[in-house]
Amino acid sequence: MKENKVASAIFAVGFFMITIGIVTGIMFDLSLLLTGVVSGIVFIGFSEVIRLLQGIYNQGDIMIRASSSTASESEILSGDDGNQVKAMSAHGVSEGERNEIVEFYSSKGLKVENISATDQEDYFIVKVNGREELVELGGFKPIVHS
């Protein structure tokens, strides 16, 4: 996934401002604590907005690189919106994400054979009953794109 360096820097500044605000607030005055915390939260909010906008920008050219553990070449899947997606290896899937995907397909009566992570946040290649689907997490329920 493309990491926006500006968003990371602003997030770090926000965290630093909160820390300094807490320290100076404890040492000097409660109003300094409040000012530092609020300023830090504002900076962290700006960094999250930048990250969200970067995610929207990245969705225009979803190229999710992946390689199967048995093959060295990457497979290409085609999503509903016509974008081609490259699949990635199976590492990087957390237990919570795995459980959410398995529960989603279990409610449909389908069995998940394999879950592969991609280089895009919240996107996974899921092998279900012999076919591969691009699944997006991060909302209220998983969204199947292919």
Could you give the 3-state DSSP secondary structure of residue 27? Answer: helix
Q: What pLDDT is stored for residue 91 in this prediction?
A: 53
CA 143, chain centre distance (Å)? 14
Answer yes or no: do 80 and 54 share one domain.
no
Mean pLDDT of the chain: 77
44 versus 120: the higher-pLDDT residue is 44
Answer yes or no: do 82 and 139 share one domain.
yes
Using N-to-C axis directions, what is the helix angle for 5-27 and 30-59, rounded to 10°?
170
Answer yes or no: do 93 and 137 share one domain.
yes
- Joined together, the tokens standing for residue 76 give 């290409």
Q: How many domains does the chain have?
A: 2
pTM assigned to the model:
0.43
Tens-place pLDDT, residues 50-107: 988 888 877 765 544 443 333 333 444 544 444 444 444 445 788 888 888 899 988 9
How far, CA to CA in Å, does 95 sit from each of 32, 92, 98, 107, 140? 41, 10, 5, 18, 18
Answer yes or no: do 83 and 136 share one domain.
yes
Helices (H), the chain: 5-27, 30-59, 95-107
